[in-house]
Amino acid sequence: MTREEFIEKLLDVLNYNTVYMWGTFGAPVTPKIIEEKAAQYPAWYTKKVKEHLYRLIKKNYFAFDCVGLIKGILWGWHGDPGKPHGGARYKANGIPDLSADGLIARCNPSTDFSHLVPGEIVWLSGHVGVYLGDGQVIECTPAWQNGVQITSCLNVPHDNQLEKARLWTKHGKLPYLEDKG
């Protein structure tokens, strides 16, 4: 997949209802996935979080966490509600299962944002997004809209700054993508 195709697929996710769920990579929100993830990450899946998620069942929501958004796209997610992970297949395409911190480590990271290009990973401890260009990032976060959303990258000058904005620590090119050409 090229960086351009990767960005296009990430932007397509905005056409779906999404919610942040720790440990997910595009699963339709069902009682089964809620309970599986609550058992796996009990500290994060509080009673309040679970109650919120149960209200989304049968409302066509797909669940991602920050790195799960990236892995889901790389693993073939395409918004199929009839598939366990929206069509993504765990570790497909030779892409390993990495945490946000593990992913940035594979990207030859830099703290110099003057050469940031679209399709690169942007990172801060425990969290990742993808730079889209024009000062914008796509990320899945419980902040702001609690799902996949566009935010501003405070590391680069731009004219269209959104209220939802972050200062990132590092960035790097995913080794799993091809350059156009």
Q: Domain spans of the chain?
A: 3-92, 100-172
What integer is the mean pLDDT of 163-178? 96
Q: What is the maximum span of the chain, computed from C-alpha positions, in angstroms?
A: 49
For 159, phi then psi, to 5°, come to: -90, -15
pLDDT at 167: 97
For 26, phi then psi, to 5°, come to: 115, 15
For 90, phi then psi, to 5°, come to: -50, 125
List, for residues 96-122, the tens digit of each pLDDT value: 999 999 999 999 999 999 999 999 999
pLDDT at 93: 93
Element housing 68 (H / E): helix 66-74
The pTM (predicted TM-score) of the whole model is 0.96
Cα dist from 66 to 82, 112, 113, whole Å: 22, 22, 20
